[in-house]
Amino acid sequence: MATNVKARRKQPETRLGLVRRARRMNRILAETYPDAHCELDFENPFQLLVATVLSAQTTDVRVNLTTPALFAKYPTPEDMAAADPEDMEAILKPTGFFRAKTKSVMGLSVALRDRFGGEVPGKLDDLVTLPGVGRKTANVVLGNAFGVPGITVDTHFGRLVRRFGWTDETDPVKVEQVIAALIPRKEWTILSHRLIWHGRRMCHARRPACGVCPLAALCPSYGEGPVDAEAARALVKTGPPA
């Protein structure tokens, strides 16, 4: 396996070759993570929008522990817009950066109430006008609450597509554009989940589990982590990371 990788590294990859390799890797990820999905708990677009904003600089697990109390007290944009900031901060404190997050979720709630009739808009151009909402958050909401294909370029996604040699871009918007040209549109949302799951469970930033990775034969970064199967297997995480 290592020999094949080294040989491929020496040979320039054509555009067609890159497209075929990327799509094959996506198919392998589909087989590896058949249950890949958004790991934030939500019941409607508003809950997903707020949860995604809260997920910055913390884990989905932590957000999922926090949002039940938040949505029980403030179930609608109108309720959240009228919240006492100190009460909101107390609820959001476990997620970190709670003052900034309080400002964002209250601000977006005011915008939803005043500009969108209390409903989360289903268009990217509208979503990104909301306080604290960028393209990443907008694509999460579009893809998972509205069924509109979108690519979510979070830390894991960007790191993996560069490690896979799909792109060397670092700007999230440019990464999104490059990957959109490699992968069919209908696959954008689920590809995002598969890469995020792979990044959280196996292809870690510091020590990827190369020795047991199903993508090893297609990955130009094979060998950045342990290639011994036993050592690599010990790095694999099962279930949602804490």
Q: Measure the CA–CA gap between 173 and 153, rounded to whole angstroms.
A: 8
Q: Measure the CA–CA gap between 110 and 101, rounded to whole angstroms.
A: 14
Burial level of 97, CB count in 10 A (0-12/13-18/19+)?
middle
Active-site option among 125, 126, 136, 171: 136
Active-site option among 154, 168, 171, 237: 154
Can you tell me whether residue 24 is helix, strand or coil?
A: helix
Contact partners, residue 230, CB within 8 Å, separation at least 6: 211
Active site residue 136: yes
Active site residue 10: no
Helices (H), the chain: 2-10, 15-32, 45-54, 60-73, 77-81, 85-92, 98-115, 124-127, 135-145, 155-163, 172-182, 188-201, 229-233
Q: Measure the CA–CA gap between 29 and 50, rounded to whole angstroms.
A: 28
What is the residue whose two structure tokens read 């997920």? 55
Kindly list the catalytic residues.
Answer: 136, 154
